[in-house]
Amino acid sequence: MTDLVSYAFADGVATLTMDDGKANAMSPAMQAALNAAFDRAEADKAIVVLTGRPGVFSGGFDLGIFKAGNPLETFKMLTGGAQLAQRVLSYPHPVIAACSGHAVAMGLFLLQCADVRIGLNVGAVFQANEVMIGMTLPYFALECCRERVATPDLHLVGTASPYVGEEAQTAGLLDEAVAPDAMAAVVQAHVERLKKADPASFTATKQRLRANVMAAMPGAVEKDIVDWKRLGAAKA
């Protein structure tokens, strides 16, 4: 697809691999590449396996854009992240996240949008670190986490508590925490299982399961937009 997201399609499965050579930052360019890849996967009616470069799924939004202080670019990145989350939540076919390493901030929120979330049991941190870097957890991100994470862990996630391995699974941030050398086999097992699902039944069931979060997301994004515009005005 691009230098940022590769697309490999075989036997009904589209593998989307993020790799910017660093932390797989969710810059506008990465978001555009992911959206293009999901467009292609939807046209192929594909099960999606979403993964990252070895050691990192995504480190979150591009801090360089925040530091540059351009309100328009920051606003574009933040709203693009919210829209990408909605896109993955509503994708009509199965999405399996093969979380190849750390998932932080927007990387963690994107992970929560997948139907099946497989992560590493060693060498990976799962964290919403917003309050540690001077940000407030966005409303849309809260909805993504609320969909999968129950109290009291939701509050710990919101206070930047880092999770690793089976802790992340117990908290609801992952469905399975597996050894690095087992990741491919576990993902493939889920792929084979989901290939047997009736496509129309899967889509209808997913829509029902996601009805609450999808209904909540537009209002959450609108509140985020108000906040982000206010922040931009304050910095202008």
Domain of residue 32, CATH code: 3.90.226.10
- For the stretch 187-223, what's the b/e string if a residue is b when 16 or more beta carbons lie within 10 angstroms of its beta carbon? beebbeebeeeeeeebeeebeeebeebeebbeebbee
212 assigned to some structural domain: no
Give Cα separations from 193 to 10, 111, 169, 175, 187 (angstroms).
16, 20, 21, 15, 10
Tokens of 81: 């992240």
Residue 1 clears pLDDT 70, i.e. is over it: no
187 assigned to some structural domain: no
Which pLDDT tens digit goes with each residue over 40-93?
999 999 999 999 999 999 999 999 999 898 888 999 999 999 999 999 999 999
194 assigned to some structural domain: no
Q: Please give the tally of structural domains in the chain.
A: 1
E strands present in 83-219:
95-98, 101-104, 116-120, 125-127, 163-164, 176-178
Which pLDDT tens digit goes with each residue over 82-123?
999 999 999 999 999 999 999 999 999 999 999 999 999 999
- Domain residues for 77? 5-181
Give the predicted TM-score (pTM) of the model: 0.95
Backbone angles phi, psi at 96, to 5 degrees: -110, 120
203 assigned to some structural domain: no
216 assigned to some structural domain: no
Confidence tier at 235 by pLDDT (50, 70, 90): low
205 assigned to some structural domain: no
77 assigned to some structural domain: yes
pLDDT of amino acid 230: 84
